[in-house]
């Protein structure tokens, strides 16, 4: 049993590492392809990989007609709107700043839960949000309170955050009926379909002029297989075995992984403001997640007694 737990933690760390380094892989692909082409190819490859996986394991699920619209709306906000904001935002800012802004999703989720589901909003969530927002501010502003990062890039990344939050509303309903692997497969297929017209209209003429290199192909395959497929599978295994709260704490390490990989792989400079910003953002995230963990532990003890 103990060995299984260690394996779960290892898979969780691998998921975090894959998502963290994915920002670096996207930067590599962006040297050849535009964001729309990148996302279309990434989602298409991931869909093929998931289809083969589900077919070989015999775990294919049939989607009910009454859930078609929910899946379409879900996929429109994520991956379509989410990846538009994330990918185009990454064109204007560094991978580290992008990862830190995206990492604010768990902090903002309780606010969405309060608005959409009338779930109680704890004071600790508000404090965590304020701390994390302060950390993001430090990273995107200089000491004279001027934008050191691109305002357009920051705005696009927060659009991605908003899209992910809306996605949660529909995901909560579908997660009760279908496995996470099935949901990811359908999301990726529909996401690729959403991107297809944009790809054909805006990027196809450029796409056919690019001669694929081993570096480009390898980066695309890593995005599709490791970031868009295996990371989600590993994260789901972690949620089922150690719970949402504990798994979310590990996910808070994504910006740290991105900063480390960016420094060693693409030579991104990590100055004092970025280090300070990362520490403050993660402190806010940890504050909210530890509070959830304690609350869940108290509920478990009450049930046992």
d(CA 55, CA 27): 32
| 49 within 8 A of 221, measured Cβ to Cβ | no
Distance set, CA 76 to CA 44, 133, 254, 304 (Å)? 15, 27, 24, 42
Express as a percent the part of the chain with pLDDT over 90.
Answer: 39
**3-state secondary structure at position 283:** helix
Q: Is the entire prediction scored with pTM above 0.75?
A: yes
The model's pLDDT over 272-292, given as tens digits with 9 standing for 90+, comes to 777 888 888 788 777 766 666
pLDDT of residue 37: 96
Q: Which of 8-12, 23-27, 28-32 has the lowest mean pLDDT?
A: 8-12
**What are the pLDDT digits (tens) for 63-83?**
999 999 999 999 999 899 999
Averaged over 212-223, what is the pLDDT? 95
Q: How many CA atoms lie within 13 A of 284 on its CB side?
A: 26
pLDDT reported for residue 256: 82
How many domains would you assign to the chain?
A: 1
Helix (H, G, I), strand (E, B) or coil at 141: strand
Domain that holds residue 72: 2-304
Mean pLDDT within 5-12: 85
Dihedral sign for Cα atoms in the order 26, 201, 82, 225: negative
């Amino acid at each position: 049993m103990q060995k299984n737990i260690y394996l779960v933690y290892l898979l969780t760390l691998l998921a975090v590492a894959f998502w963290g380094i994915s920002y670096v892989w996207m930067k590599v692909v962006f040297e050849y392809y535009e964001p729309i082409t990148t996302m279309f190819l990434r989602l298409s490859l991931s869909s093929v990989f998931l289809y083969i996986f589900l077919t070989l394991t015999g775990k294919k699920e049939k989607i009910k007609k009454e859930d078609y619209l929910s899946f379409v709306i879900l996929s429109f906000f994520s991956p379509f709107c989410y990846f538009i904001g994330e990918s185009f935002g990454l064109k204007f800012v560094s991978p580290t700043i992008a990862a830190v802004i995206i990492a604010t999703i768990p902090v903002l989720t309780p606010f969405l839960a309060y608005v959409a589901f009338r779930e109680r909003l704890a004071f600790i969530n508000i404090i965590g949000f304020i701390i994390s927002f302060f950390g993001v501010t430090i990273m995107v502003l200089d000491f004279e309170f001027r934008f050191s990062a691109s305002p357009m890039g920051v705005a696009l990344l927060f659009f991605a955050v908003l899209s992910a939050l809306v996605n949660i509303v529909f995901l909560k309903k579908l997660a009760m009926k279908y496995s996470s692997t099935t949901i990811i497969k359908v999301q990726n297929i529909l996401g690729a379909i959403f991107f297809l017209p944009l790809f054909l209209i805006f990027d196809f003429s450029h796409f056919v002029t690019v001669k694929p290199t081993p570096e480009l192909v390898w980066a695309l395959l890593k995005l599709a297989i490791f970031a868009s497929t295996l990371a989600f599978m590993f994260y789901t295994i972690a949620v089922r075995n150690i719970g949402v709260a504990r798994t979310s704490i590990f996910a808070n390490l994504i910006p740290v992984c991105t900063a480390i990989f960016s420094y060693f792989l693409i030579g991104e400079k990590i100055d004092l403001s970025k280090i300070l910003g990362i520490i403050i953002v993660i402190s806010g995230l940890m504050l909210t997640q530890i509070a959830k963990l304690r609350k869940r532990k108290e509920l478990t003890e009450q049930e046992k007694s």
